[in-house]
């Protein structure tokens, strides 16, 4: 049964108690028998009843608050992506005089949808059940950084496949054939799509993939360092590396410096993100820019339209851009 149609009277009827007893439960009254508490809890769960959601809708009002849910992961508060999304969503909402309710999902769904008018989900990784739960509660939703096949859910994503394809082909056009991709967590859609774009560019240009052409490092600088030690201990060292993020690209540049590998003369490097906080001496990183600010603003706009005008779900895919700087050179 939909939570939007369930009343306190129905909960009372199913639990076999009075409406006043259910009201005392909702208001956390200490004057409530444990037997009745258990019956009410069971009825609420079976009916999928959310009292604050119902009260708000009954009043026909809004809370003027949007939720932002980000899947938690190690180093999230040092992540360019996470901090950029939080900042850009907050700025976009502030301009509209809307409050933001932030939730970091860490393997437990504690998000209370009754506190918000709608939700922006900054990717969906380990919290797929949370997405389904919010959809079931008929909470207005927009997902960013991930394409969603469900026709009833809006999303704003970046064409990661195209970004990876163009970055890889740019390296190929500079004469590189021994190219390695330091890939992110392949459980994450954007990382998987970048691998697909990398593979497609190699295949189109007739370059045979080697066993170590793709090294999965889960966006970790430490794991990138491990793979770099292996790659440059082998007989056939890579001449170019396409990285899953600018953070990882920065680690590659550090490694090259420590091992007297000249960039871009002996090694070409491309990142992904266009993180302005990263710099490497006198070299500026060639990278793929993903428009995170545009993604955040578009998500806020779509969510407002969904809430205010009840518009149908929107599917938006933004274009990445290859930003050519100093770290790619012709193979010598």
Q: What region, left, alpha or beta, does residue 245 occupy, with left being phi > 0 and alpha being psi -120 to 50 degrees?
A: beta
Element at 286 (helix H, strand E): strand 286-289
Rg of the chain, C-alpha, whole Å: 25
CA dist., res. 180 & res. 230, Å (int): 12
The Cβ of residue 312 has, within 10 Å, a number of other Cβ atoms equal to 10
Element at 232 (helix H, strand E): none
Residue-by-residue pLDDT tens, the chain, 332 positions: 444 568 888 999 999 999 888 877 876 666 788 899 899 999 988 998 876 544 554 445 577 899 999 988 777 778 889 999 999 999 999 999 999 999 999 888 989 888 899 999 999 988 999 999 999 989 999 999 999 999 999 999 999 999 999 999 999 999 999 999 999 999 899 999 999 999 999 999 999 998 899 999 999 999 999 999 999 999 999 999 999 999 999 999 999 999 999 999 999 999 999 998 776 668 899 999 999 999 999 999 999 999 988 889 999 999 999 999 999 999 87
Domains of the chain in start order, with CATH, are: 3-59 (1.10.260.40), 65-158+292-319 (3.40.50.2300), 160-290 (3.40.50.2300)
What is the per-residue burial (b if ≥16 Cβ within 10 Å, else e) of 186-210? eebbbbbbbbebbbbbbeeeebeee
Could you tell me the pTM of the whole model?
0.80
Q: Can you say whether the dihedral through the CA atoms of 76, 79, 81, 87 is positive or negative?
A: positive
CA dist., res. 137 & res. 109, Å (int): 14
Give the Å distances, CA to CA, from 315 to 87, 136, 144: 23, 20, 10
CA dist., res. 209 & res. 218, Å (int): 20
The Cβ of residue 34 has, within 10 Å, a number of other Cβ atoms equal to 7
Burial of 302 (0-12, 13-18, 19+ CB in 10 A): buried
């Amino acid at each position: 049964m939909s939570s939007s149609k369930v009343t306190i009277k129905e909960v009372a009827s199913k639990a076999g108690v009075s409406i006043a007893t259910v009201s005392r439960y909702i208001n956390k009254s200490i004057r409530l028998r444990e037997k009745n508490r258990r019956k009410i809890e069971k009825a609420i769960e079976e009916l999928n009843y959310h009292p604050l959601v119902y009260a708000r809708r009954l009043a026909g009002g809004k809370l003027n608050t949007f939720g932002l849910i980000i899947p938690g992961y190690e180093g999230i508060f040092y992540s360019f992506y996470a901090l950029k999304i939080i900042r850009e969503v907050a700025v976009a909402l502030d301009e509209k005089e809307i409050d933001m309710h932030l939730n970091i999902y860490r393997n437990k769904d504690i998000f209370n949808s009754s506190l918000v008018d709608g939700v922006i989900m900054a990717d969906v990784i380990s919290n797929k059940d949370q997405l389904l739960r919010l959809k079931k509660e008929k909470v207005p939703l927009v997902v960013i950084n991930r394409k969603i096949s469900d026709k009833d859910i809006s999303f704003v994503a970046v064409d990661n496949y195209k970004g990876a394809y163009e970055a890889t082909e740019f390296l190929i056009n500079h004469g590189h054939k021994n190219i390695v991709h330091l890939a992110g967590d392949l459980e994450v859609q954007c990382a998987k799509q970048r691998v697909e774009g990398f593979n497609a560019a190699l295949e189109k240009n007739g370059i045979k993939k080697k066993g170590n052409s793709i090294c999965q490092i889960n966006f970790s600088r430490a794991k990138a360092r491990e793979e770099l030690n292996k790659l440059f201990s082998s007989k056939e060292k890579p001449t170019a590396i396409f990285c899953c993020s600018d953070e990882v690209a920065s680690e590659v540049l550090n490694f090259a410096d420590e091992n007297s590998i000249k960039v871009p003369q002996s090694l070409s490097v491309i990142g992904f993100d266009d993180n302005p906080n990263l710099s490497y001496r006198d070299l500026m990183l060639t990278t793929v820019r993903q428009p995170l600010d545009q993604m955040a603003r578009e998500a806020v706009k779509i969510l407002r339209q969904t809430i205010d005008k009840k518009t149908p779900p929107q599917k938006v895919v933004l274009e990445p851009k290859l930003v050519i700087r100093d770290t790619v050179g012709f193979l010598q």
